[in-house]
Amino acid sequence: MQLDAKIPQGDLAGKWDNCRFDNKLVNPANKRKFDVIVVGTGLAGASAAASMAELGYNVKSFCIQDSPRRAHSIAAQGGINAAKNYQNDGDSVFRLFYDTIKGGDFRAREANVYRLAQVSNNIMDHCVAQGIPFAREYGGTLANRSFGGAQVSRTFYARGQTGQQLLLGAYSSLMRQVAAGKVTIFPRREMMDLVVIDGKARGIIVRNLITGRLERYSANAVVLATGGYGNVFYLSTNAMACNVTAAWRAYKRGAGFANPCFVQIHPTCIPVHGDYQSKLTLMSESLRNDGRVWVPKQQGDTRNPADIPEQDRDYFLERKYPSFGNLVPRDVASRNAKEVCDEGKGVGETRLAVYLDFQEAINRDGLDLILKKYGNLFQMYEKITDADPSKEPMMIYPAIHYTMGGLWVDYQLQSTIDGLFVIGEANFSDHGANRLGASALMQGLADGYFILPYTIGNYLAQAGFDKQPVDDPAFNLVEEEVNERITGLLKNRDHNKAGTQPVDYYHRKLGAVVWDHCGMSRDKAGLTKALAKIPEIREEFYENVYIPGTGQELNQSLERAGRVADFLEFAEVMVLDALEREESCGCHLREESQTEEHEAKRDDDHYSHVAVWEYKGKNEQPALHKEPLRFENVTPSQRSYK
Amino acid sequence: MAAKKIAITVKVWRQTDQKVKGSLETYSLSDISTDMSFLEMLDVLNDQLTMEGKEPVAFDHDCREGICGTCGAVVDGVAHGPERETTLCQLHMRHFDNGQTICIEPFRAKAFPIIRDLIVDRSAFDRIIAAGGFVSVNAGSAQDGNNTLVAQHRAEQAMDAAACIGCGACVAACPNAAAMLFVSAKISQLALLPQGHAERKMRAQAMVTIMDNEGFGNCGNERECENVCPKGISIRNIARLNREYLRATLAANE
Ligand SMILES: Cc1cc2nc3c(=O)[nH]c(=O)nc-3n(C[C@H](O)[C@H](O)[C@H](O)COP(=O)(O)OP(=O)(O)OC[C@H]3O[C@@H](n4cnc5c(N)ncnc54)[C@H](O)[C@@H]3O)c2cc1C
Ligand code: SF4
Ligand code: FES
């Protein structure tokens, strides 16, 4: 596997210009001769499909949900960053770049991150023009808030529903192109595999989730915008359908998988409350702007929070990190919450929670203002927990939230398979070992509106516009393999057989193993244990899982089983990657690599690289390749938020 | 409040596809925690059915936090169930009593054919948006964001309307199966903002035409839509839609 990042010549600020100038262009009249498949209709997929259609390409757009408008991006709450410096507080493209690369703990490419910061401003302009109802100041200008890890106020928002509004904006552009005949949407379709012909991505096999039938689609290029794999942990803040299948299948066809162990844990989620629980709910990080995090100073203090006087409370983030306080980055906040709970100071029934308290902010600004900012989040919290955060502190605990790892892509967003592009959360590109708040929306839209539409042209201009028939033997072969996999899942026809369990049982079991051993903090012994356990669960799964119904109909158990089957394979590579990276970095603490103050210790001498895994065949150990990271414009520093 | 365990009976609409007739089936569930969400209760039911060798109940869901608009069913005659401004996925079992029988049916409307059990086809909503629920701006052509000033209260009103999640409960609740609340939410958002003004007339006409063609009924001012809307979309938006539509028709006749 060759890893050529194709970073353009020139100084940092000129690279994107140089790239655009050097890229081949497709003649406007020829664009309509090209077909592009875009899998996924989240921010990345919807924006890419719409923009490419605006340019004149024919786009086929696929998603699992019944409508493109429902992709997981819809759930993003807090906001989107842009280097507008509207607040006159010293922001700039370079500062956004610097914050992002530092936030990622110096594990991302300078050139990609700088480009992201550069186009951030175009994104905002476009989204405003689409009629997205961003929050405004009295004078009518756009409002900003500050967000975890940043000392400038650069986050734009639409109440607590920024993802929803941005996605509906992208969806509206997409539907406009549907009406114009440039995009065809294929909802309720799940990509089951990638078809590679002569080394080039030429099509996909999808399962029609209503009829159960397999369908074939071909194109001149394939774009994966299939989101992150956080659901490998079973419980996460991700939507239920989030999966690794598309990325995993591409990996098995030759796409490198980069940094799979880089997963983000979000500090402010509603704690787990029962074993039937199906997902975790995020409380936006923006709450930390006004909420203060604390636990009782005494272990096992079970008094009502209101009865615990100031002097008996430990505002541990403010105490340990006086300059950032409650706004320390996510990993620092998460790890410290876990630490105080491990010390026995956790609160709530499970003792796996800390308080997030708004009393001081309410006293200072008045309840009205606080409700204006967070009203819908307070409501959501109350619906789930039956407790009102304006009367008593919220309880929060960290949860799996985002995956920085993903398919490896070069500067053009192309994977190691020619013609296969990967955008949004599905790629690994911009967030290093940790993502700053409000940067995923920015990245998804940067990729989709302003980067891929240019870079894909460079590929198409050289690849030619021949049509790929779907009766090619390559399609037959891949479809046959997909069929075999489905048959394999439906093998157990006896629900009474001893040991038989439904799909979620295995998913939960896998989730518990990776959460325990490959979560916020990891060590060699735990990871080794996980590596032994995962194949056992996988075997048990194929032996005993019982899926009612057939493959030739709408079958939600079968859908979930296919995703769990891929998680069960993927998890092994994720753990392997974690084992290999013997440094603390970004989101995770590697127990063996800490400073004397128990802070994460990075090891630049040995791990300043992207770890890229190559599939080597069934029962073969995947091969590890390394893309070295070079820092010419920033000096990697050990992060300190003290 | 600490969680309790309750036992309930559910009557669920079962229908294998559009062509066959469906019916209500009755199932008993014990040990349902009052902290469970309604969909988690259905998960438990489905695991139970699976292990009995029966077909689980098909139902749509994704985010499970009230924002994607995928979930929805009629619970005891009310779209999204008894809690105001709450999607089905955000409804919790603490709102039900021990021993209660709960009837669960799909959203019913001519324009929303049943696909299976509780799953219906709401793609008509996508076609309505495709008709005009957008601002025609290509990526790359926008001016600086702050060149368009929007008064704060206008932006807030637009946001109120834009909060629609496209779930379809309004249609299911309406005696005429009208989609007016859904359509008016999008029309209002874009009518309230300067960005939407250039295409105002085209939008109102095109969206209303498609709405009629898709088989949605007429608004009879029953207000049922507003009562079930999980996002509190106000019926005032329908008044605005009517004004926008009238304006467009008058202008067309000029
Ligand atoms: C609760 C929550 C809050 C968040 N808040 C913020 C925030 O405030 N700011 C921020 O910047 N980021 C936030 N994030 C992160 C951000 O929302 C996501 O990273 C981002 O939206 C991902 O977008 P995407 O387009 O890459 O993928 P997604 O939105 O996940 O879309 C994936 C798409 O791919 C489709 N798909 C997947 N697999 C297949 C398949 N096999 N076949 C066919 N289709 C498939 C899906 O149907 C879907 O359409 C938040 C995340 C969560 C969970
Ligand atoms: S108006 Fe309300 S009920 Fe109707 S689709 Fe929108 S959110 Fe759902
Ligand atoms: S599942 Fe998303 S709104 Fe209910």
Q: What is the mean pLDDT of residues B244-252?
A: 88
pLDDT value of residue A202: 98
Give yes or no: residues B126 and B246 share one domain: yes
Measured CA distances, A17 to A94, A111, A240, A421, A451 (Å): 16, 12, 40, 20, 11
From chain A, the residues in CB contact with B69 under 8 A are 69-70, 74
Query: Contact B33/A274, CB-based, under 8 Å?
Result: yes
**Which residue's entry shows tokens 């394979």?**
A569
Give the domains, in start order, of chain A with CATH numbers: 266-399 (3.90.700.10), 476-604 (1.20.58.100)
**How large is the ipTM?**
0.98
Give yes or no: residues B108 and B152 share one domain: no
Measured CA distances, A397 to A205, A301, A383, A588 (Å): 40, 18, 17, 16
CATH code, domain carrying B89? 3.10.20.30
CATH code, domain carrying B166? 1.10.1060.10
Q: Is the CB of B180 under 6 A from ligand 2?
A: no
* Nearest protein Cα to ligand 2, atom 5: B166
Q: Which of B36, B143, B156 is nearest residue A276 as measured by Cβ atoms?
A: B36
Beta pairing, strands A406-407 & A257-258: antiparallel
pLDDT value of residue A357: 97
Final residue belonging to a domain, choices B91, B115, B139: B115
Give yes or no: residues B56 and B156 share one domain: no
Range of the domain at B99: 5-115
Q: Is the CB of B108 under 6 A from ligand 3?
A: no
Query: What is the secondary structure of A546-582 as a DSSP string?
Result: ---S-SSS--HHHHHHHHHHHHHHHHHHHHHHHHH--
Q: Is the CB of B181 under 6 A from ligand 2?
A: yes
Q: Which of B51, B122, B152 is nearest residue A138 as measured by Cβ atoms?
A: B152
Give yes or no: residues B127 and B211 share one domain: yes
Number of domains in chain B: 2
B41: closest chain A residue by CA: A276
Give yes or no: residues B129 and B109 share one domain: no
Query: Which of A99, A20, A8 has the alpha carbon at shortest distance from A451?
Result: A20
Distance B219 CA to ligand 1 centre (A): 36
Query: Contact B90/A384, CB-based, under 8 Å?
Result: yes
Query: Contact B47/A502, CB-based, under 8 Å?
Result: yes
Radius of gyration of chain B (CA): 21
Query: Contact A239/B165, CB-based, under 8 Å?
Result: no
Output the CA angle A386-A391-A395, nearest 5 degrees. 60
On whether any CB of chain B is under 8 Å from the CB of A548, the answer is: yes
Distance CA A87, CA A90 (A): 8
Look at residue B1 and tell me whether its pLDDT is greater than 60: no
From chain A, the residues in CB contact with B1 under 8 A are 386
Give yes or no: residues B130 and B243 share one domain: yes
pLDDT value of residue A377: 86
Distance A226 CA to ligand 1 centre (A): 8
Give yes or no: residues B82 and B98 share one domain: yes
Query: Contact A276/B165, CB-based, under 8 Å?
Result: no
On whether any CB of chain B is under 8 Å from the CB of A496, the answer is: yes
Give yes or no: residues B130 and B245 share one domain: yes
Query: Contact B67/A386, CB-based, under 8 Å?
Result: no
CA-based nearest distance A547→chain B, Å = 7
Kindly provide the b/e burial profile for residues B179-211, where b requires at least 16 CB atoms within 10 angstroms of the residue's own CB: bbbbbbbbbbbbbbbebbeebbbebbbbbbebb
Mutate to test the interface with A, among B18, B67, B152, B183 (most CBs of A within 10 A): B67
Q: Is A330 a catalytic residue?
A: yes
Give yes or no: residues B237 and B145 share one domain: yes
- Provide block-wise average pLDDT over 10 residues at a time, chain A (642 residues): 96 98 96 98 98 98 98 94 97 97 95 98 98 97 84 92 97 98 98 98 98 98 98 97 98 98 94 89 87 95 94 96 88 90 90 95 96 87 92 95 98 98 97 94 98 98 96 98 98 94 97 95 97 98 97 98 98 98 94 88 97 96 98 90 74
Give yes or no: residues B129 and B231 share one domain: yes
pLDDT value of residue B160: 97
Distance CA B119, CA B73 (A): 9
pLDDT value of residue A147: 79
pLDDT value of residue B253: 59
Distance A47 CA to ligand 1 centre (A): 13
Give yes or no: residues B9 and B111 share one domain: yes
pLDDT value of residue A443: 98
Distance A638 CA to ligand 1 centre (A): 30
Q: Give pLDDT tens digits for B211-231.
A: 999 999 999 999 999 999 999
Mutate to test the interface with B, among A73, A85, A175, A442 (most CBs of B within 10 A): A175
Kindly provide the b/e burial profile for residues A92-125, where b requires at least 16 CB atoms within 10 angstroms of the residue's own CB: ebbbbbbbbbbbbbbbbbbbbbbbbbbbbbbbbb
Ligand nearest to the CA of B171: 2
Query: Contact B143/A129, CB-based, under 8 Å?
Result: yes
Instruction: Give the residues across from A145 on adjacent strands.
Output: A155
Q: Is the CB of B64 under 6 A from ligand 3?
A: yes
CA-based nearest distance A555→chain B, Å = 8
Give yes or no: residues B88 and B155 share one domain: no
Final residue belonging to a domain, choices B115, B145, B178: B115
Q: Is the CB of B185 under 6 A from ligand 2?
A: yes
Catalytic residue among A115, A330, A538, A563: A330
Look at residue B252 and tell me whether its pLDDT is greater than 80: no
On whether any CB of chain B is under 8 Å from the CB of A391, the answer is: no
pLDDT value of residue A160: 84
pTM, two decimal places: 0.97
CA-based nearest distance A267→chain B, Å = 18
Output the CA angle B25-B29-B35, nearest 5 degrees. 125
Final residue belonging to a domain, choices B77, B93, B115: B115
CA-based nearest distance A139→chain B, Å = 6
